[in-house]
Amino acid sequence: MASLEQLLVLQEHDTAVDQLEHRRSTLPERTELEELWREVGSVEAEQDATRAERDEVARTQKRLEDEVATVEDRAASVHQTLYGGTVTSPRELQALQDDEAALKRHQSAIEDKVIEQMELAVPLDERLGALDERHANLARQIDEVAARLSAAEVAIDDELAATRAARDAAAAAVAPDLLERYETLRHDLGGVAVARLVGTNCGGCHLTLSAVELDRIRHEPGDAIVLCEECGRLLVH
């Protein structure tokens, strides 16, 4: 009978360990961290997309600026030829003037496109700045929540250590063969292997035992191993 009663004590400790482990694995800070990391991933994806768009604008702007420089050089060369005194033919001078004017118009058109790219870059830079700030805020929140999670885990781990020590002491007082049977049933029955018979009900499944079974149990010795006919748990009677 003492061993069966000790099994109930052991069951209490095992249940407490299970509850603490469940509490540790389902701490709200853990869920909060997961949500924050998901948000970080979303922000980083948006950062990458925005940077790619900004880089494309920068490349286009650089290409246009290079084109402006090329046209400007060509216009300068034509200007130098036009006013360098080496060309005297009115027809050739007129052609050079026309070339210079066309190049200036082309340069002006390209410069307008450069300005367009610069204007496109402004909202992209603003968006990147906002995303960088959001990313930094998330990083700070993650640090804060991680610190709270660590503190909560340490507190639960201390409880677990004390509860497991008490559990080991209780297990040491149970006969090895009975302990092995208890462990097997605990594994098979969702963590609860032993319960007290309360009146006509099993304290594990809370179902009422048949009158025949109750009568049989009442005639068993107090230290006899009895199983609930409904759930198969060890019954302390």
pLDDT at 3: 75
Q: Which fold has domain 21-173?
A: Helix Hairpins (1.10.287)
The structural domains of the chain, with segments of one domain joined by +, span 21-173, 178-236
Residue 191, phi-psi category: left (phi > 0), alpha (psi -120 to 50), beta (remainder): left
Q: Could you tell me which of 117, 119, 121, 131 has the C-alpha nearest to residue 48?
A: 131
* Measured distance CA(146)–CA(24) in Å, rounded: 14
3-state secondary structure of 195: strand
Instruction: List the chain residues with pLDDT less than 70.
Output: 1-2, 222
CA 104 to chain centre: 57
pLDDT at 2: 64
Percent of the chain with pLDDT over 70: 99
Percent of the chain with pLDDT over 90: 73
pLDDT at 1: 46
pLDDT at 85: 85
Phi and psi dihedrals of 222, rounded to 5? -60, -30
Beta-carbon contacts of 47 under 8 Å, excluding residues fewer than 6 positions away, are 128, 131, 132, 135
Q: Could you tell me which of 13, 230, 233, 46 has the C-alpha nearest to residue 135?
A: 46
Identify residue 56 by its one-letter amino acid code.
E
pTM (two decimals): 0.73
pLDDT at 212: 87
